């Protein structure tokens, strides 16, 4: 294994020359660079202050993860329905929590019009340099960027079947020339129905994607946003493994052996499942972005990643020197 890091951060231009980087893993750092309000600690804290009732909060006693709580409520609804117990109170809690989540997300999310077309196009241009894209962010920034040219190609997200653009786990082949993108923790435009099918929302003439988030789905009162919110690594992995789309996305990361660039993710303990997936191929090069700071602080943060990630070589670069870290990407009203 390589020597432990010493706080040195390389320039991205130097990193870029060392390998043919084919895979990109994007974290919340890109979103924060564009819109600093994305730096909220977690959605639960915001919703706890502004939307969750006392009864709702009691359901979060063991976890701040909305996906798990909403999933548990639906399980309770199904069990009660089978044994003949009234489910109205459970549905009331379900809708209350879903609405609180929607309000919290909309309160911190940037408006599409505040992210200039120039910014969205610049992000898209950088994504096109890679062959595989993974992201742990669940905001709409990457989705907007990919669609900034007026068409989705060459990107593909596997939501292309049926009237609702559903995910079909049996039809996930990546064709030549396509760049697949995987939302490892779900996303604001993804929905999972009561039957377990995942699909993506589309912008309509009346409502944009952000307006639709957290709203009831006609014809499927059990549908909920597919969102793995802040929580422990155990809770996140549990939510991922329970959903066919999320488990497929993580498996694609786990089986990807191409040289990989990490931008905007600290690969923290809460994302241990991500580091473990990357560790499946310890001999492939990995480059991780970090914000500049004192050499001592940077070295401490590097050592934490060094302890979780087995990669040879493991390189660290200054995030501000990468195109996705450019100050020029800042949204207009941030």
181-231 pLDDT, tens digit per residue, is 999 999 989 999 888 899 998 876 446 787 777 677 888 878 888 888 755
Query: Could you give the domains of the chain?
Result: 12-41+115-201+234-329 (3.40.50)
Q: Where are the alpha helices (DSSP H) in 197-269?
A: 209-212, 233-241, 244-254
What are the residues whose beta carbons fall under 8 Å from the beta carbon of 106, sequence distance 6 or more? 210, 213, 214
Instruction: Please provide the DSSP assignment of 227-245 as one string.
Output: E--S--HHHHHHHHHTSHH
36, two tokens: 């600093």
Using CA atoms, how far apart are residues 95 and 314, in angstroms rounded to an integer?
A: 45
Using CA atoms, how far apart are residues 211 and 127, in angstroms rounded to an integer?
A: 26
Structure confidence by residue, pLDDT tens digits, 298-333:
999 999 999 999 888 999 999 999 999 999 999 876
Structure confidence by residue, pLDDT tens digits, 89-130:
998 898 788 778 777 877 888 988 899 999 999 999 999 999
Structure confidence by residue, pLDDT tens digits, 150-182:
888 999 999 987 678 899 999 999 999 999 999
pTM, full prediction? 0.85
* Cα 180 from chain centre: 14
Contact criterion met (CB below 8 Å) for 182 and 134: yes
Region 43-60 average pLDDT: 86
Task: Label residue 7 left, alpha or beta by phi (over 0 means left) and psi (-120 to 50 means alpha).
Answer: left
């Amino acid at each position: 294994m390589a020597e432990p890091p010493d706080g040195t951060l390389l320039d991205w231009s130097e990193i870029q020359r060392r390998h043919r980087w084919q895979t990109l893993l994007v974290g919340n750092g890109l979103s924060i660079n564009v819109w600093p309000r994305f730096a909220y600690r977690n959605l639960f804290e915001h919703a706890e202050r502004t939307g969750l009732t006392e009864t709702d909060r009691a359901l979060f006693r063991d976890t701040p993860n909305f996906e798990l709580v909403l999933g548990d409520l639906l399980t309770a609804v199904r069990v009660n329905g089978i044994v003949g117990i009234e489910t109205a109170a459970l549905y009331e809690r379900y809708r209350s929590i879903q609405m609180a989540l929607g309000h919290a997300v909309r309160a911190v999310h940037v408006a599409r019009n505040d992210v200039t077309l120039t910014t969205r196009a610049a992000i898209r241009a950088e994504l096109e340099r890679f062959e595989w894209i993974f992201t742990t962010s669940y905001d709409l920034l990457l989705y907007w960027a990919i669609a900034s040219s007026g068409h989705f190609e060459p990107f593909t997200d596997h939501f292309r079947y049926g009237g609702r653009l559903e995910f079909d786990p049996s039809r996930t082949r990546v064709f030549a020339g396509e760049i697949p993108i995987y939302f490892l923790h779900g996303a604001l435009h993804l929905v999972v129905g009561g039957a377990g099918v995942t699909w993506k929302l589309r912008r309509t003439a009346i409502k944009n994607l952000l307006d639709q988030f957290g709203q009831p789905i006609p014809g499927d009162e059990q549908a909920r946003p597919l969102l793995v919110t802040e929580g422990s690594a155990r809770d996140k992995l549990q939510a991922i493994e329970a959903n066919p789309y999320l488990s497929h996305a993580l498996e694609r990361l786990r089986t990807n052996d191409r040289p990989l660039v990490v931008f905007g993710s600290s690969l923290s303990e809460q994302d241990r499942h991500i580091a473990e997936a990357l560790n499946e191929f310890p001999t492939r090069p990995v480059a991780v972005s970090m914000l500049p700071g004192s050499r001592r602080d940077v070295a401490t943060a590097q050592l934490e990643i060094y302890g979780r990630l087995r990669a040879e070589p493991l390189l660290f670069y200054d995030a501000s020197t990468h195109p996705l870290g450019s100050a020029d990407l800042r949204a207009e009203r941030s």
